[in-house]
Structure 1
Amino acid sequence: MIEDDEETRRPAGRGHATGAAATWGLLAAWAVHDLEELATVRRWARNRVPVLRTRHPAVPEAVWRRLEASGGREFAGAVGVMALIVAAAAADGHRTGGRSAFYQVALNGFGLHGAVHVGQALATRGYTPGVVTSPLLVVPFTLWARGRLRRAGVLRPGRARDAVHGLALAGAATAGAHLVARRLMARSPGGR
């Protein structure tokens, strides 16, 4: 569970050292990263999934079908839901001058998920959606923002469990966003 104490909730004073760039920057960096994914996921799924299906026959067929369907309205809907989550984390970070546990865990998860994108590209031996902006934007922004938080004296001490929390939040938020999008698409006229 993410701890939220009185120190975390205390609003930052005017001109606080973390600034808007470190907090709202999370939302901006996420938006650029997800624009890459939105722009490339449909074509990637159409071209790469058949190759990967042949290369990895032990992977269940349901996984391949889900990947093939990932470039449509459901994916765009999931990106929209995730935008709300990231915006909430950035807003909480800004409100607290970067002290928010939610913001810091989301920031850590964002950076670590960039490393996951790079790992996916290595594992599939090719481009995967999000891999270009991961080493160029996601990881550098995360390191920079953590540096700002550290210099401001508000960065929570880094522990292995913080990495686990960050990845867990990123994974849960992604899965939840897709679930919400899938349900919304099922209810909308025309279905998926």
Structure 2
Amino acid sequence: MVPRWVRTHVPELRKRFPRVPETVWRRLEAVDTREFSTAVAAMAVVLAAAAADGHRTGGRSAVYQTALNAFGLHGLVHLAQAATLRGYTPGSATTPLVVLPFTVWARGRLRRSGVLRPTRPRQLAEGLAFAAAAAAGTHALAQGVLRRR
């Protein structure tokens, strides 16, 4: 799982990317399996809510289309990470098998239905911002939930 991969690879990554602040590496190492699993579950809720809004609006929902863009773009981030490290990284196996095919399929359905919003740089930025905010928010939620226990 991701926390084990991080623990194994952070020492090498620290040497390879010395300009990354030490606080980033410490924060990565601090994410344990419980936090990661809780954050993934919370992300599933975020995406399910966006999908429900998409269903409710026949795919017209800006929230749904932004989340769909975010889902696909997050997959490209995983592939870029794997390319940068020249090897396996978490998410690099599921991206070509699940993330990108689903994103292409869903966008195609929206396009054929005539409801796909044009994808311009602004929409890409919104998608990346959505992905980043959702990731940060779900990890913060996970930390809060686990701290109360």
Q: Deviations over 1:126-152 (max 9, x none)?
A: 211111111222112111110110001
Structure 1 SS opposite 2:87: coil
Percent of aligned positions that are identical: 64
Gap runs ≥5 in structure 1: 1-39
Between stretches 58-67 and 158-167, larger displacement belongs to 58-67
Contact kept? 1:45, 1:71, Cα under 8 Å: no
Is 1:166 aligned to residue 117 of structure 2? no
Amino acid at match of 1:185: L
Structure 2 counterpart of 1:80: 41
Q: Deviations over 1:141-167 (max 9, x none)?
A: 111110110001111122111111111
Corresponding pairs, count:
149
Structure 2 SS opposite 1:140: helix
- What CA distance in whole angstroms lies between the structure 2 residues aligned with 1:139 and 1:86? 15
**Pairwise mapping of residues 38-77 of structure 1 onto structure 2 (< 5 A)?**
40-77=1-38
Contact kept? 2:73, 2:127, Cα under 8 Å: yes
Equivalent residue for 1:116, pick from 58, 61, 77 = 77
Is 1:96 aligned to residue 57 of structure 2? yes
Displacement of 1:55:
1.9
- What CA distance in whole angstroms lies between the structure 2 residues aligned with 1:56 and 1:171? 21
Q: Deviations over 1:153-182 (max 9, x none)?
A: 111122111111111111111111111111
Structure 2 counterpart of 1:157: 118
The structure with more radius of gyration: 1
Equivalent residue for 2:67, pick from 79, 96, 106 = 106
Amino acid at match of 1:103: Y
Contact kept? 2:3, 2:36, Cα under 8 Å: no
Gap runs ≥5 in structure 2: none
Contact kept? 2:75, 2:95, Cα under 8 Å: yes
Contact kept? 1:109, 1:169, Cα under 8 Å: yes
**TM-score by structure 1 length?**
0.73
Q: Deviations over 1:94-143 (max 9, x none)?
A: 11111111111100110011000011112222211111111222112111
**TM-score by structure 2 length?**
0.93
Runs of 4+ in structure 1 displaced over 4 angstroms? none
